[in-house]
Amino acid sequence: MDIWAGKMVLEQREIFPDLKIKLICVSPFENEIKRRRGTDLEDYIMLRDSCDEFITLGKEYNKYCFNRRNEYMVDRSGYVIAALSDYKSGTYSTVRYARKLGREVHVIDLNKFAEEQGFARP
C-alpha cells in the first residue's frame, strides 16, 4: 500500500505541477531496503530517489518500529487515508490513533472492495 500511495503522489505531482505536491518517505529503520525483493525493491528505490525528503526513524528493526513510523506520519498529517482489511491490525490501530488526534480519516475497506469486485477471500 505504501508503494502504491507513493506512486500516486508522484503521478499527481506530474499532473499538477503548480500545486507543489511533496512526497516525504518515512522508513521505520535503517536498512529496511534489505527486506525488499523484485519489483517491490525496484519501486522502493525509485520512490526513495524521487521523494522530496527521506526520513529514517530508527537504527534497527524492533516490534514497535512500524507503529512508531505510522504515528510519526499521522502526527504530521491533517488527513489520513487507510486501506484496511483486518480490524485488529496495526493499520487499524493507526486509524484509531488518527481519530483520537482529531484527524480526518478515510478508510478504504478492502473486504468490501474485494466483495464488490467479485474477488474471493482466501
Quick check: 51 and 6 in contact, CB under 8 A? yes
81 within a domain of the structure (yes/no):
yes
Distance CA 31, CA 41 (A): 12
Q: Please indicate, yes or no, if residue 110 is contained in any of the structural domains.
A: yes
Is 10 a domain residue?
yes
Q: Is residue 36 part of a domain?
A: yes
68 domain-assigned:
no
Q: Among 98, 45, 40, which Cα is nearest to 67's? A: 98
pLDDT confidence of residue 86: 87
Those residues with Cβ within 8 angstroms of residue 66's Cβ, 6 or more apart along the chain or in another chain: 28, 90
Structural domain count, the chain: 2
- pLDDT, tens digit (0-9, with 9 covering 90-100), for 87-114: 888 999 999 999 999 999 999 999 888 8
81 with 55, same domain: the answer is no
Which structural domain, as residue segments, surrounds residue 49?
1-59
Summarize pLDDT for 62-92 with one digit per residue, the tens.
Answer: 999 999 999 999 999 999 999 999 888 899 9
Report how far Cα 67 is from the mean position of its chain's Cα atoms: 12
pTM tops 0.75: yes
